[in-house]
Structure 1
Amino acid sequence: MIDPDDDIGAEQGEGAESQDFQAELEAERIAEALVFASAQPVSEAFIADRIAKHFNVHTIMLRLKEQYAPRGVNLVQVDDAWAFRTAADLSFVIRRDENETKKLSRAALEVLAIIAYHQPVTRAEIEDIRGVQTSRGTLDVLMEAGWVRFRGRRRTPGRPVTLGTTRDFLDHFGLEELRDLPGIEELKGAGLLSGRIPANFNIPSPSMNDELTEDEDPITQMDLEELGLLAPGGASED
């Protein structure tokens, strides 16, 4: 004999599951809309502030990423943020802007590579690795592109400024995180390293932590003024 209470309980359970499904679908739609509407990668923290607290944002984004994987536009992860980008195999059909940024000089590429793999790194350490002086103009170009930033001050005599890459650097070069930087074999395969390299040659593993290290101090307003990033008094220079 069928207990009518069992039927009522089953219907209530199905109703609750339906409500949960609708709530999760709405959270997905909100996350999708936030990323679509932004010209810059959107952080998971930003998304989390705008959906129900009990939802796991990373799980939602991974599910959306899978849904967009076969489409002409992909959802890609950039560090702890997300952005929509043209599928890599369709980049050839996208018309390039006539005002495309000019190519970086060899010196700028070398400096950018050193910063990416050795960060946090000082200007003196960059020059030691390259064997030549690095002009302020080279660093300015990389900073204007938004790929390099001042991290902090090294706790050594002279308190030199340390440099690191930015989220825009990851985004531009299609990297989810710094560990995705190519290794020796990948660089050799791309023709960026010759077949005959020193036996003791190695590529350092870049720091994955964006926080200041034990030998770095945060940059203060006085430091920014000294570096020319702020006018005296704290007003930003245009």
Structure 2
Amino acid sequence: MSQASVRRKQNDQPALLDTELEHLPPDLRWREWVGRVEAVIFAAGEPVPRDVLARVVGKSCNLDLVIEDIRAELAGRPYELVSVAGGWQHRTKKAFADVIRGAFGTAAGQGAGSKELSQSEALVLMCIAYFQPITRGELSSFFGKEVSRDLIGVLRAQELIASGPRSPQPGAPYTYVTTKNFLSQFGFDTLRQLPDFEALEDAGLLSKEKLLAGGIPAGLANREGEDDVVEDQVS
């Protein structure tokens, strides 16, 4: 290979990103780091985790302080930087939800392919969130009627749920778990932020008495608070 070919090949390779920026004074270095982090989050179509942001800043950069600075700069804007689904994402402030709905006919934060859930779809999704991994048969036992494959298909199509591990029950049926998109759509950073049972009881959406009386198969009621189990399902 000629020297000219070698030079062309070298020129085609992307230059390594200078993350330390030691040639800049501290204040300019910090502003560059802040700009880089905001640019990456702005360009991403989903929440950006810490490890991705760490690729564009120096080892001494405190990402939490960077996020605080960005949030402060957005204080008067109609959008903000929020922590959801294990990362950070720009989102329109809730105060502007009606404006966006009026303009586009969708709720703020909804994707073009998403639609508002029916009451039955929302209740099934809630049960999956609290009792995952859970089978369709177990969901049907909870509601006292069959949960259809079509209903499950709606939730899967919107990427709110996904297949979990096979159940140890006879026939090894599929189980269902929530996804990172579920966390993102509902503004949760982790499943630990789900409302507690007392709040759901007060709203009339769930009854511990029904759970303890056998409204769902034995063992599911004991899953309340098993954060380690449900956290694993969204990674």
Instruction: Note whether the superposition's TM-score is higher than 0.5.
Output: yes
Q: For 1:115, which of 123, 128, 137 is the aligned residue?
A: 128
1:27-73 per-position Cα deviation (integer Å, ceiling 9, x unaligned): 11111011111222222222122322332434422442344345321
Once residues 122 and 147 of structure 2 are traced to their aligned partners in structure 1, the CA distance between those partners, rounded to angstroms, is 12
- Which structure's residues are more often helix, by fraction? 2
2:128 maps to 1:97: no
- Which structure's residues are more often strand, by fraction? 1
Gaps of 5+ in 1: 1-15, 213-238
Partner of 2:45: 39
- Contact map agreement 2:47 2:85 (CA 8 A) in 1: no
- Contact map agreement 1:35 1:84 (CA 8 A) in 2: yes
Once residues 206 and 138 of structure 1 are traced to their aligned partners in structure 2, the CA distance between those partners, rounded to angstroms, is 26
Partner of 2:158: 145
Against the structure 1 CA distance between its residues 147 and 87, is the aligned structure 2 distance closer, same or farther, given a 3 Å change threshold? same
Gaps of 5+ in 2: 1-21, 107-111, 213-220
Measure how far apart 1:148 and its partner are.
0.7
Q: For 1:177, which of 157, 170, 190 is the aligned residue?
A: 190
SS state at 1:210 partner: helix
SS state at 2:184 partner: helix
1:59-112 per-position Cα deviation (integer Å, ceiling 9, x unaligned): 422442344345321100113111111111222222342477443233211210
How many residue pairs get aligned? The number is: 195
Partner of 2:144: 131
Q: For 1:205, which of 225, 229, 232 is the aligned residue?
A: 225
| Percent of aligned positions that are identical | 29
Partner of 2:12: none
TM-score w.r.t. length of structure 1 = 0.68
SS state at 2:188 partner: coil
SS state at 1:41 partner: coil
Give the AA of the match of 1:68. L
Partner of 1:85: 91
SS state at 2:45 partner: coil
Against the structure 1 CA distance between its residues 86 and 192, is the aligned structure 2 distance closer, same or farther, given a 3 Å change threshold? farther
